[in-house]
Structure 1
């Protein structure tokens, strides 16, 4: 099942889409207005979010499924967004290109401990259709399409799509500038939904693609698979939560292997990221 926040007749609804049918969970039960509500019930009952949804779906009115998808907002607002780096070989190669310090990034790629870094607060996190940002003081900026893990109470409860916007010129100048290259206004986007683990299947075997358009022209079009990722989501989450009290709802982006070469984003560009079994996240680009 896939879970959405969407506007219907001017009112925000919490909706589950099961195959080609969409159900208004907001109208099914009082107090069931968000993914956090759903995950809380599942945690208390010791079950899954899908099983909770299945228990109330008969009382939920049907909605137009296409309208739900078209009007999707950020599916849940995480208290924190984190990210993992160099989880694909090509990412290590790209960091060497931008910094000339390849041995350091290759070490992170090969070592037992992964690179985990803080990415965004709620105010910096955008949803579907909202503009992501490029920094005015950077001259090499790229989107990074990533499978994102939704973590509730320290456990994986779903997956979504993440866009880890990055200022490669700033990071390449000095690795200690990573926070400035990664954390700024509109630096992250997630959506369009949260897909349950049962819907996603094997997270290390998903096809995904990214397209970047400028003035109606395709500037980048690439595809890959999460089977190239050398870490599992469970492994990354285990390091995120070690000796680190993450908030109730967090999102962890798992790294990318789609890195545009010799390309920088410009204001007005449009980024589309598609991940198998989840959907498509689309965002325009603005300068911040």
Structure 2
């Protein structure tokens, strides 16, 4: 199942799209859940799944048109924290070849037992569908990074969404110690449009991913890949994220990218970034100069 949040008349509702493509408003039931994490909490108490909890509400839930849902989308959940994993695809370390000392660090992260896991964003730095992501005023090479994103409740995988890990590549390239400045800033992360559960996604390491950057009606970059190219499992990344860590109730964990625009492509204000992940959906954001 796919879970959306919408806002109409200053009111937020939780919507579920079943695998039969019927869409229901779960907030309009007597139980009235307004967030995916409420369902995850109920599932944890009953040792069931989020989809089990959702199915128990469907008989009393009114339907809603999917077109209406898409017109009123907001961020599918409000993660307490957003984390990222890096160098999980070969292209990520290959793209740093020729960058001196940086290259060795990325090769070691790609080949080593311990993955790169880093803090990415807070809710205030994270935007949802059709909101603007930001590019820094002190950066000249800014790119989106499309990533399968794990949704965690109490450190356990409860679903997947689409993520955009915005990056100021020239700041990162200048000095590896500047990595946090290249990754963490206002509007540096986007997630959405929904949360898909295991039941819908199936094997998360076997889904297709596409990204497109549009500018003034023209496509300036597009590429596609598959999560089958990832050298780490989702469980492995979650394990290292949680080690000796104070894990919050809800977390988004981005899993790395294998789509990297070439050096001569950089985002500009007014661009549109579209990221599509099979069995989840399309995350679309405009770009603004901070």
TM range (shorter): over 0.9
Do structure 1's residue 5 and structure 2's residue 5 form an aligned pair? yes
Cα deviation digits, residues 27-51 of structure 1 (max 9, x gap): 1133411111111000001110001
Deviations 1:3-27 (A, max 9, x none): 0001345532111011321101001
Report matched runs for 1:227-246 at 5 Å: 227-246=228-247
Q: Helix, strand or coil: the match of 1:169?
A: helix
* Structure 1 segment 242-281 matched on structure 2, within 5 A: 242-261=243-262, 262-281=264-283
Q: Which residue of 1 aligns with 2:28?
A: 27
| TM-score (ref. length: structure 2) | 0.97
Contact 2:162 2:192 in 1 (8 A): yes
Report the CA distance shift for 1:97/1:53 in structure 2 as closer, same or farther (over 3 A): farther
CA distance in 1 between counterparts of 2:153 and 2:30 reads 21
Q: CA offset at residue 96 of structure 1?
A: 3.0
Out of 16-25 and 219-228, give the one that drifted further.
16-25
Structure 2 unaligned spans of 5+: none
Map Cα deviations across residues 134-190 of structure 1 (whole Å, 9 max, x no partner): 000000000000000000011000000000000000000000001100000000000
Per-residue CA deviations over 1:41-100 (Å, capped at 9, x if unaligned) read 000011100010001111100001122123211000101000000000000012335666
TM-score, normalised to structure 1, is 0.97
The Cα RMSD (Å) is 1.2
Look up the match of 2:285: 283
- 8 Å Cα contact 2:26/2:32 also seen in 1: no
Match of 1:129 in 2: 130
Deviations 1:211-252 (A, max 9, x none): 000001000110000000000111100100010011100000
Q: Is 1:146–1:253's contact at 8 Å kept on the other side of the alignment?
A: yes
Q: How does 1:45-56 map to 2 (within 5 A)?
A: 45-56=46-57
8 Å contact from structure 1 (residues 160, 195) kept in 2: yes
SS at match of 2:95: helix
Does structure 2 conserve the Cα–Cα contact (< 8 Å) formed by 1:162 and 1:253? yes
Residue correspondence of structure 1 range 109-258 to structure 2 within 5 A: 109-258=110-259
Unaligned regions of 5+ residues in structure 1, if any? Answer: none
Give yes or no for contact 1:99–1:172 (8 Å, CA) kept in 2: no
Change (3 A) 1:176 1:49: same
